[in-house]
Amino acid sequence: MTGIEILLLILVLVGVLVAASLIRAVSPFIINAVVGLVVLFLAQAVFGFSVAITPIVLVIVALGGVPGSIIVLLLALLGVAFVP
């Protein structure tokens, strides 16, 4: 192996380690966002709650997860915000 091949191998290894650590750090947030969106969908589909789906609602639910979706549902039920 030449010096360039060894350098490329080291760079690829460092890139893989960085990508793995990023995925490990971000995966709880992705799971939280998906569960929150499923709760919001089930509340609309099963229980008939009507919530205006806007980009703000999606951000709140994606960042807040289940508590975020519960807050959005409560605000919509009380007529404070997110009312269609």
Distance between alpha carbon 83 and the CA centroid of its chain, in Å?
A: 23
User: Cα 1 from chain centroid?
Assistant: 43
Contact yes or no for 33/57 (Cβ under 8 A) = no
What integer pLDDT is reported at residue 46 of this predicted model?
87
pLDDT score, position 16:
93
Please give the structure tokens belonging to residue 18.
């960085």
Nearest to 79 by CA among 44, 52, 57: 52
* pLDDT on residue 17: 93
Q: Are 53 and 78 in contact (CB under 8 A)?
A: no
Residue where the block lists tokens 């966002």: 33
Block means of pLDDT (10 residues each) for the chain, 84 residues, are 85 92 86 85 84 84 85 87 74
Query: 0.95 exceeded by the pTM?
Result: no
